[in-house]
Structure 1
Amino acid sequence: MENRVVITGMGIYSCLGITLDEVKESLYHGKSGIIFNPERKDFGYRSGLTGYVPKPDLKAYLNRRQRISMGEESEYAYMATIQAFENAGITQEFLDEHEVGILYGNDSVSQAVIEATDIVREKKDTTLMGSGAIFKSMNSTVTMNLSTIFKLRGINMTVSAACASGSHSLGLAYMMIKNKMQDIVVCGGAQETNQYGMASFDGLGVFSVREEDPAGASRPFDSGRDGLIPSGGAATLIVESLESARKRGAPVIAEILGYGFSSNGGHISTPNVTGPSTAMRRSLENAGLRASDIDYINAHATSTPIGDANEAKAIYEIFGGDVPVSSTKSMTGHECWMAGASEIVYSLLMMQHSFIAPNINLENPDEDAKNINLIVETKNQNIDVFLSNSFGFGGTNSALIVSKFKN
């Protein structure tokens, strides 16, 4: 018998709020977390738009030795993870006595690398970078920091899969737990929000320049969309076997039923229809469900012209035009490496409180978007099963299916 895989805890640190309650309220009321940041314009960005995420102060939580190894994305991930552990009823004593793993999505570290390199350029002395520089500048910085802070002794690996990183971390944990290789895995995704992290994206001309209206700039599926908006933070989910959860008397938030994945096998940045549809179809097959069993789809849609259109085509190909769809990126912007995890948290909050968050700023759907059931105002509706899409550069695709827990 394969294990059933459940979610027992979640935590969030995002531009919509830094607690689950704050984020739920933002989602319900369609509140945007996007601002205009003049410092980005001074730095040389085409677009000064970004999601605003407050910088946490970890002095009350961690000693100096622990903090000097942590960059911005690790700080966000730490804040989300202590929330998730508390939500799951997991103490440090429990972590000390049980094998718990970590699979976390992260696909870049910019600020730490640039700052350390600048010191060497100026001082001509590598020893002045500081002892924490190497640990802050590696792609695996989040997992190496969290695993040592919390003394985790299970699987310990960073998932780097572009904007599907957070989603794939959950999918891989689901597979490991289902096949009895781990009992509990800390999953999630983190994304730095400093000006260094997204400069190369801005250079591609993919960001919205609707700077006069920050809250209205992210417009997934709208015919007037002119690009995405960078954002970030972190989201953590505690993924566990049902047997483990029952043994420790844990609250069960939801059950992961299916994971689908694919690669487009084409252009490095331009998405297609076949790859996303393959991932969604595979997730349904893996879950043993039909398209009609899905109550809500949290779309990947980032507010780019080609990406949104192709996802709408893929959704229509499999689900037709009935299932409710929205992109929470209309409020958050694109949270990149964390998005696949945060959008599971957002969808779980909707499931818990029986509503579908709106796809804000959708005034005139494009021709492909008109074929699917896009929700433009908050809809009070029961959600038993949802699907969440995450796609990324290089053609990586992930689709997760999550349901309310049923004994």
Structure 2
Amino acid sequence: MSNRVVITGMGIWSCLGTTLDEVRDALYQGKCGVIFSQERKDAGFLSALCTDVPKPNLKPYVDRNMRKFMPEEAQYAYMATRQALENAKMDQDYLDAHEVGLIYGNDSVAEATMDALDKFRNLGNTLACGSGAIFQSMNSTVTMNLACLFHLKGINLTASAACASGSQSIGLGYLLIKDGLQDTVICGGAQENNMYCVASFDGINAFSKRNDDPKHASRPFDRDRDGLVPGGGAATVILESYESAVKRGAPILGEVLGWGFSGNGAHISTPNVEGPARSLQLAIEHAGVDPREIGYVNAHATSTRAGDGREAEAIARVFGDYKVPVTSTKGQTGHEMWMAGASEMVYTMLMMKNGFIAGNLNFENADEHTNCINIIPETVETKFNMFLSNSFGFGGTNSSLVVKDL
């Protein structure tokens, strides 16, 4: 069995906005969600940069007993999933009557774990952790909460693959539907946005030091990039078999044509060219398309020296003399980490459906590694009906998705 896999709904909660319309407009206008955080500066961070993600109010939707199980990232994911289900015209009656699956990307829970253990150490009693602590602190906190809140009865799985987690969740959902094991899978990625979750990143000098110029700090592919800016939030994508979508009269936004994945098999944090290139090549082969049919590449590029350069070389290797348009939306959003693969799927879908490519913010000059690809510096109005989205993570985990407009 080989089912067609389509996207029928999307939801987003990010520094660019908390509705699809807000995020579409922010992308088009080149809005940047990066800010300077005095809290992080006072706490001893080398880089006091982060993104401004609104705190959701769950009180109208989730009762107090359930909220105590939900850390920050699960709250973001709940709001994004509410939106996506509404966008897909999929109500609770439908979820109750069908076996709907859930695969969500999340690779750590820092603040909730720290809070519970601090209470234990300070009071010398495990009861101080609280009854919600274990459910908040597990990597699977997002999927366990969403599955219970929406009464989901299909697969319940957390994709834990560093900064490829959100993309891997979509790839896994695609495979399950393609092979006929599920009709519908809710996919996505979530990332907490507090300072505790990224303190160790700051300690290894991973972040930009442009503390006096937040809006220009995240500069993917640019010659003067000096590190990433951490971000957070959540994004949800509803995947469904084409037959299921048609049967229920669902809006069909696009079709997932192929998923590529690979491991670098090398250094735990320093990327290479070969691993990402294999991921791109496999995605294109699995999609059964010619590279020249792809009208745009949403790059992983996080604004780091090695990562951006090696991804550029991988793209150039796979696409050859075809200068496919390339941007990284991380100039606007910072690096949304476990969320990024899912949010960048939403960002790119919004571009494709609305006829534009958001410019690669803060790209001014290429260097000897990034000058081999066609980077679009400013928003352009253009039609494209197929794209490839990259996500790469620590440990050398790579994921690439090919999606077509419908």
TM-score by length of 1: 0.99
* CA drift at 1:368: 2.0
2:333 counterpart residue number: 332
Q: What is the rounded CA distance, in whole Å, between the counterparts of 2:231 and 2:290 in structure 1? A: 34
1:158 counterpart residue number: 158
2:235 is aligned with what amino acid?
A
Matches within 5 A, 1:172-251: 172-251=172-251
Q: Which moved more, 1:353-362 or 1:365-374?
A: 365-374
1:295 counterpart residue number: 295
| Secondary structure at the counterpart of residue 15 of structure 1 | coil
2:386 counterpart residue number: 385
Q: What is the rounded CA distance, in whole Å, between the counterparts of 1:85 and 1:62 in structure 2? A: 16
| Secondary structure at the counterpart of residue 190 of structure 1 | strand
Matches within 5 A, 1:9-28: 9-28=9-28
In the TM superposition, what whole-angstrom CA distance separates every residue of 1:145-164 from its partner, at most 9, and x where no partner exists?
Answer: 00000000000000000000
| Secondary structure at the counterpart of residue 403 of structure 2 | strand
In the TM superposition, what whole-angstrom CA distance separates every residue of 1:6-57 from its partner, at most 9, and x where no partner exists?
Answer: 0000000001111101100110011100000010011121000001101111
In the TM superposition, what whole-angstrom CA distance separates every residue of 1:62-88 from its partner, at most 9, and x where no partner exists?
Answer: 100110000000000000000000000
Q: What is the rounded CA distance, in whole Å, between the counterparts of 1:308 and 1:45 in structure 2? A: 24
1:316 is aligned with what amino acid?
A
1:63 counterpart residue number: 63
1:18 is aligned with what amino acid?
T
Q: What is the rounded CA distance, in whole Å, between the counterparts of 1:29 and 1:276 in structure 2? A: 30
| Secondary structure at the counterpart of residue 8 of structure 2 | strand
2:371 counterpart residue number: 370
In the TM superposition, what whole-angstrom CA distance separates every residue of 1:368-395 from its partner, at most 9, and x where no partner exists?
Answer: 2212110001111111000000000000
Q: What is the rounded CA distance, in whole Å, between the counterparts of 2:261 and 2:311 in structure 1? A: 15
| Secondary structure at the counterpart of residue 197 of structure 1 | helix
Question: Which aligned runs of 4 or more in structure 1 are off by greater than 6 angstroms?
Answer: none
Q: What is the rounded CA distance, in whole Å, between the counterparts of 1:178 and 1:258 in structure 2? A: 10
Q: What is the rounded CA distance, in whole Å, between the counterparts of 1:56 and 1:141 in structure 2? A: 17
Structure 2: unaligned runs, 5 residues or longer: none
* CA drift at 1:195: 1.1
1:404 counterpart residue number: 405
Q: What is the rounded CA distance, in whole Å, between the counterparts of 2:112 and 2:357 in structure 1? A: 38
In the TM superposition, what whole-angstrom CA distance separates every residue of 1:159-194 from its partner, at most 9, and x where no partner exists?
Answer: 000000000000000000000000000000000001
1:129 counterpart residue number: 129
| Secondary structure at the counterpart of residue 187 of structure 2 | strand
* CA drift at 1:307: 0.3
Q: What is the rounded CA distance, in whole Å, between the counterparts of 1:16 and 1:275 in structure 2? A: 31
| Secondary structure at the counterpart of residue 395 of structure 2 | helix
2:357 counterpart residue number: 356
| Secondary structure at the counterpart of residue 228 of structure 1 | coil
* CA drift at 1:274: 0.3
* CA drift at 1:399: 0.3
1:102 counterpart residue number: 102
| Secondary structure at the counterpart of residue 261 of structure 2 | strand
2:372 is aligned with what amino acid?
N
2:171 counterpart residue number: 171
2:316 counterpart residue number: 316
Q: What is the rounded CA distance, in whole Å, between the counterparts of 2:128 and 2:46 in structure 1? A: 34
* CA drift at 1:99: 0.5
| Secondary structure at the counterpart of residue 46 of structure 1 | coil
Q: Which moved more, 1:50-59 or 1:66-75?
A: 50-59
In the TM superposition, what whole-angstrom CA distance separates every residue of 1:283-340 from its partner, at most 9, and x where no partner exists?
Answer: 0100001111110000000000000000000000111351000000011000000000
Q: What is the rounded CA distance, in whole Å, between the counterparts of 2:267 and 2:53 in structure 1? A: 32
In the TM superposition, what whole-angstrom CA distance separates every residue of 1:95-142 from its partner, at most 9, and x where no partner exists?
Answer: 111100000000000000000000011111111221111000000000
Q: Does 1:112 align with 2:112?
A: yes
| Secondary structure at the counterpart of residue 6 of structure 1 | strand
Structure 1: unaligned runs, 5 residues or longer: none
1:72 is aligned with what amino acid?
E
Q: What is the rounded CA distance, in whole Å, between the counterparts of 1:171 and 1:383 in structure 2? A: 22
Q: What is the rounded CA distance, in whole Å, between the counterparts of 1:142 and 1:383 in structure 2? A: 33
Q: Which moved more, 1:38-47 or 1:182-191?
A: 38-47
TM-score by length of 2: 0.99
2:263 counterpart residue number: 263
Q: What is the rounded CA distance, in whole Å, between the counterparts of 1:208 and 1:172 in structure 2? A: 33
| Secondary structure at the counterpart of residue 234 of structure 2 | strand
1:307 is aligned with what amino acid?
G
